[in-house]
Amino acid sequence: MKFFIDESPVLFPYPRIYPEQYAYMCDLKRTLDAGGHCVLEMPSGTGKTVSLLSLIVAYQQFHPEKRKLIYCSRTMSEIEKALAELKALMKYRTEQLGYEEEFRGLGLTSRKNLCLHPSVKREKSGSVVDARCRSLTAGFVKEKKERGEDVELCVYHDNLDLLEPHNLIPPGVWTLDGMLRYGEQQKQCPYFTARRMMPYCNVIIYSYHYLLDPKIAERVSKELSKDCIVVFDEAHNIDNVCIESLSIDLTEDSLRKATRGVNNLDRKITEMKSTDAEKLQNEYAKLVEGLREAEEARDENAFMANPVLPDDLLKEAVPGNIRRAEHFVAFLKRFIEYLKTRMRVLHVISETPPSFLNHLRELTFIERKPLRFCAERLTSLVRTLELTNIEDFQPLQEVATFATLVATYESGFLLILEPFESETATVPNPVLHFTCLDAAIAIKPVFERFSSVIVTSGTMSPLDMYPRMLNFSTVVQESFTMTLARKSFLPMIVDRGNDQTEVTSQFQNRNDPPVVRNYGTLLIEFCKLTPDGVVVFFPSYLYMESIISMWQGMGILDTVWKYKLILVETPDAQETSLALETYRTACNNGRGAVLLCVARGKVSEGIDFDHHYGRTVLCIGVPFQYTESRILKARLEFLRETYRIRESDFLSFDAMRHAAQCLGRVIRGKDDYGIMVLADRRFGRKITQLPKWIQMGMDAKNDKLSIDQAVGRAKAFLKEMTVPWSRSEQEGMSTWSLEELEKHQAKKKEAIIQGADVRMLEGRAEAMEVVEEDEFGGADIDEVMADLDA
């Protein structure tokens, strides 16, 4: 269907549209017009991706400047889905418009997924593929070939040079499979095609890491122009991605490998001195001049800023004491040796970068300044030495990045040395965590460079948390609910068992037999009444294991066994995928199955349990993070001091977003239905932190139930769901045809003139009511602090 939002025409590839999709598009357009950032929450299964894509593509085509869209998603499957949506959308547009638009949409993923080289693509590990690919495609390898040396090259890559550089692949939308097929046909490398075509694309779809991880972003994304529209989809975990991309863990093993890497470098330098001293001299001369080239480039705003390479670094020349290659190698050796010395300490140390630097200077005479240049200097040296086996230098690279970061940022980072793996371990296995506490550091360049950044997901509540944590300001913050013709999901909070004892996963009573038995009863009852699949989420693997073994002792699992097949998620990815496959098979034939999994595991993040794959989801316990972790404690403190986010607020926000993520797994569309059970007494106070769409589905009478009451409600709900129902019933109400949409637009115009409220019509959640709390957070904080102390 084709309709207008303000003045721009939007082509939507389906004959009907949901009210919330329309509202979502309106808000998106408002953001793009205003040129700012926005945070949007819309329930899963309401067609977020397609509304996003159709609006932005329409916007691109309508406006002459054709701003590029960078669409970042989390997993491979989501990227593939988005590409498929885009392809369908463009096909629809062509049909409707009657001509093909000049349009390119590409997906980018790792070399491992896009390689065509007969021997390289068989490698299992991604880093090996990267390394081998580099050794076949690097610039100097080609030079060597031209000089007549006998080196192997990748045919697929070389063929690219024969093509016009801006037209490596014809216009259109290319899914990853399509790219592979085209590459095989034309004998050209899909990975490099995608990389090199990025400046000429209208839409790029790739993973977060290409934009957030400084090491990758430096190579892939820095040339993207300023007016790009950046979308982070499924962004509820974006702060963790940011933090992980700047955190470094060093172990004794990695230091050993780094030492080996330094020794290799040393040998290479000696070799090169005897054969090709001129090259080293050239590098030296260049370094005397400084990194000025890069600075000029950045002056013209050509590149995105890089947190690992701060601006002021570019303006200066490399310090004299690491200018010569051999000096730099000795410098690295000393630094690594110092780190090894630090690792020998047998008690936990947590210190700030300035204190680390002070101690470093006292012991080894390494100043802060050369340390800042470490990463850049190493890159330059590796380039000069023409090393092909980069993966050998990975640990060394890590150490160098660590050096640069520790010398660059005075706050926002913390060094934590943990000599023992666990409290009880006696054999030291030291790990030096260099943790980033501030998610804003990694994402800052993105917000600074791009005028419109859209952060969206199914679970973003409370909406103001993300702008605070990531330190940006929004023009639009909105939460949408799902408009439903019938009540198709039933959220419930179970806070006590049939014997009236409260159920909770709180640390003190999580292993009490009554609590465990009540959880067991809950599982049995819901296994009995649910027709197909049941998914159960636990707060952690540890708790899941202990509760399962206790259930086994109580004979609960034997009872469950009568009704459902039991499958368990493990930390091992392959075992889990096997379990998932079995689960699906079991749901497809017969009684169905129950899947026991973990709220922060793989299942809770990327797997959909649509329709009969998931009719009930049980969330056993509030999925708090492991509060004993020193890294988490440091981060909480940082958040409190810098962004004024209370510990308890953050912990409960984090727990609730994971809980919501788990609950959202079962409703994947408007004709899907399911039961959501939150089984912990603590959920009662946290209802407001759930996404609006779940909150609105939760009746007041459903938030304090015992098990048998919950079972009664669930049975009634399921009975209601068995009433024959056709899609036509939701027409005009939760789906709109074109006429209905136009009618709505007219009505809205009228309502705006009259000053009436139209929010509810479009499925927007009502404005956030501000809950006044006393400064010390009431009773809730004590509990969380007690958890912290436990």
Partner 1 sequence: MSKAATRVGATPTKRLAEDGGASRLSSSLHSLSLRSPSKSTSTPAFADSSSDICPVCKSSRYLNPNMKFLVNPECYHKMCESCVDRIFSHGPAPCPIAGCKRTLRKAKFRNQTFEDLRVEREVDIRRRVAKILNKTEEDFDTLLNYNNYLETVETTTFNLIYKIDVEATERRLQAFAEVQRAEALSTLPASQASKIRSVSSTQQITDSKQESSTDRVVLKKSAGQRKVPSSSMSTPDPFSGAENGDVDSGFNFHGLKKRVAPEPEKPYDPYGGWSVEPQYFILQDDYDVEWLKHTKDEVKNAAGGYDMKDFYTRALCDAFSGFGVFIDEEMTARDNQASGDAVIGTQTAAAVAAGGRDVHMDDLF
**8 A C-beta contact, residue 482 and residue 763:** yes
Q: Quote the least distance from Cβ 756 to partner 1, whole Å.
A: 49
Q: Which is nearer to partner 1, 333 or 640 (CB)?
A: 333
Q: Which is nearer to partner 1, 196 or 334 (CB)?
A: 334
Q: Which is nearer to partner 1, 96 or 341 (CB)?
A: 341
3-state secondary structure 525-565: HHHHHCCCCEEEEECCHHHHHHHHHHHHHHCHHHHHHHHCE
**8 A C-beta contact, residue 510 and residue 621:** yes
Within residues 153-212, the interface with partner 1 by CB under 8 A covers: none
Q: Which is nearer to partner 1, 265 or 490 (CB)?
A: 265
Within residues 272-301, the interface with partner 1 by CB under 8 A covers: 288
Q: Which stretch binds partner 1 (CB under 8 A): 137-145, 235-243, 259-267, 509-517?
A: 259-267
Q: Which stretch binds partner 1 (CB under 8 A): 96-104, 136-144, 357-365, 581-589?
A: 357-365
**8 A C-beta contact, residue 78 and residue 233:** yes
Q: Tell me the number of residues near partner 1 by CB under 8 A.
A: 27
- String of contacts with partner 1 for each residue 500-539, x by CB under 8 A: ----------------------------------------
**368 is a contact residue toward partner 1 (CB under 8 A):** no
Q: Quote the least distance from Cβ 444 to partner 1, whole Å.
A: 27
Q: Which is nearer to partner 1, 333 or 611 (CB)?
A: 333
Q: Edge-to-edge strand order for the sheet containing 349-351?
A: 248-251, 431-436, 413-418, 349-351
Inter-CA distances, 482 with 15, 178, 396, Å? 19, 34, 50
Q: Which is nearer to partner 1, 268 or 713 (CB)?
A: 268
Q: Quote the least distance from Cβ 293 to partner 1, whole Å.
A: 17
Q: Which is nearer to partner 1, 181 or 359 (CB)?
A: 359
Q: Quote the least distance from Cβ 379 to partner 1, whole Å.
A: 19
Q: Quote the least distance from Cβ 20 to partner 1, whole Å.
A: 58
Give the 3-state secondary structure of residue 175: coil
User: What's the rounded Cα separation, in Å, for the pair 329 and 264?
Assistant: 10
Q: Which is nearer to partner 1, 341 or 511 (CB)?
A: 341
Q: Which of 125, 167, 225, 270 binds partner 1 (CB under 8 A)?
A: 270
Place of tokens 């550091």: 441
Within residues 42-61, the interface with partner 1 by CB under 8 A covers: none
Q: Which is nearer to partner 1, 321 or 498 (CB)?
A: 321
Q: Which is nearer to partner 1, 342 or 602 (CB)?
A: 342
Q: Quote the least distance from Cβ 404 to partner 1, whole Å.
A: 18
Within residues 739-768, the interface with partner 1 by CB under 8 A covers: none
User: What's the rounded Cα separation, in Å, for the pair 557 and 568?
Assistant: 12
- String of contacts with partner 1 for each residue 313-342, x by CB under 8 A: ---xxxxxxxxx-xx--x--xx--xx-xx-
Q: Which of 363, 578, 716, 756 binds partner 1 (CB under 8 A)?
A: 363
Q: Which stretch binds partner 1 (CB under 8 A): 91-99, 216-224, 261-269, 298-306?
A: 261-269
**8 A C-beta contact, residue 232 and residue 447:** no
Say which DSSP state 35 is in: T
Say which DSSP state 650 is in: H
Q: Which stretch binds partner 1 (CB under 8 A): 176-184, 260-268, 411-419, 657-665?
A: 260-268
User: What's the rounded Cα separation, in Å, for the pair 215 and 209?
Assistant: 9
**364 is a contact residue toward partner 1 (CB under 8 A):** yes
Q: Which is nearer to partner 1, 364 or 709 (CB)?
A: 364
Q: Which is nearer to partner 1, 324 or 704 (CB)?
A: 324
Q: Quote the least distance from Cβ 322 to partner 1, whole Å.
A: 8
Give the 3-state secondary structure of residue 429: coil
User: What's the rounded Cα separation, in Å, for the pair 765 and 759?
Assistant: 7
Q: Quote the least distance from Cβ 208 to partner 1, whole Å.
A: 38
Q: Which of 96, 263, 549, 585 binds partner 1 (CB under 8 A)?
A: 263
Q: Quote the least distance from Cβ 344 to partner 1, whole Å.
A: 8
Q: Which is nearer to partner 1, 355 or 549 (CB)?
A: 355
**8 A C-beta contact, residue 671 and residue 727:** yes
**8 A C-beta contact, residue 403 and residue 377:** no
Q: Quote the least distance from Cβ 281 to partner 1, whole Å.
A: 14
Q: Quote the least distance from Cβ 359 to partner 1, whole Å.
A: 11
**266 is a contact residue toward partner 1 (CB under 8 A):** yes
**8 A C-beta contact, residue 320 and residue 228:** no
Residues shown for the chain = 790
Q: Which is nearer to partner 1, 333 or 704 (CB)?
A: 333
User: What's the rounded Cα separation, in Å, for the pair 290 and 24?
Assistant: 49
Burial class (CB in 10 A: 0-12, 13-18, 19+), 467: middle
Say which DSSP state 757 is in: -
Q: Quote the least distance from Cβ 338 to partner 1, whole Å.
A: 7
Q: Quote the least distance from Cβ 407 to partner 1, whole Å.
A: 15
Q: Which is nearer to partner 1, 252 or 703 (CB)?
A: 252
**8 A C-beta contact, residue 82 and residue 233:** yes
Q: Which is nearer to partner 1, 99 or 365 (CB)?
A: 365
Q: Torsion angle of alpha carbons 643, 647, 649, 654, nearest 10°?
A: 100
User: What's the rounded Cα separation, in Å, for the pair 131 and 621?
Assistant: 44
From 682, 625, 691, select the one nearest 654 (Cα to Cα): 625
Q: Quote the least distance from Cβ 321 to partner 1, whole Å.
A: 4
Burial class (CB in 10 A: 0-12, 13-18, 19+), 655: buried
User: What's the rounded Cα separation, in Å, for the pair 270 and 368?
Assistant: 27
Q: Quote the least distance from Cβ 263 to partner 1, whole Å.
A: 6
Q: Which is nearer to partner 1, 199 or 320 (CB)?
A: 320
How many C-beta atoms surround the C-beta of residue 745 within 10 A?
A: 15
Q: Which stretch binds partner 1 (CB under 8 A): 176-184, 310-318, 540-548, 718-726?
A: 310-318
Q: Quote the least distance from Cβ 329 to partner 1, whole Å.
A: 10
Q: Quote the least distance from Cβ 324 to partner 1, whole Å.
A: 7
Say which DSSP state 423 is in: T
| Contacts of residue 12, Cβ cutoff 8 Å, sequence gap at least 6 | 1, 2, 3, 21, 50, 51, 54
Tell me the pairing of strands 534-538 and 593-598: parallel
How many C-beta atoms surround the C-beta of residue 508 within 10 A?
A: 10
Q: Which residues bind partner 1 (CB under 8 A)?
A: 263, 266-267, 270, 288, 316-324, 326-327, 330, 333-334, 337-338, 340-341, 344, 363-365
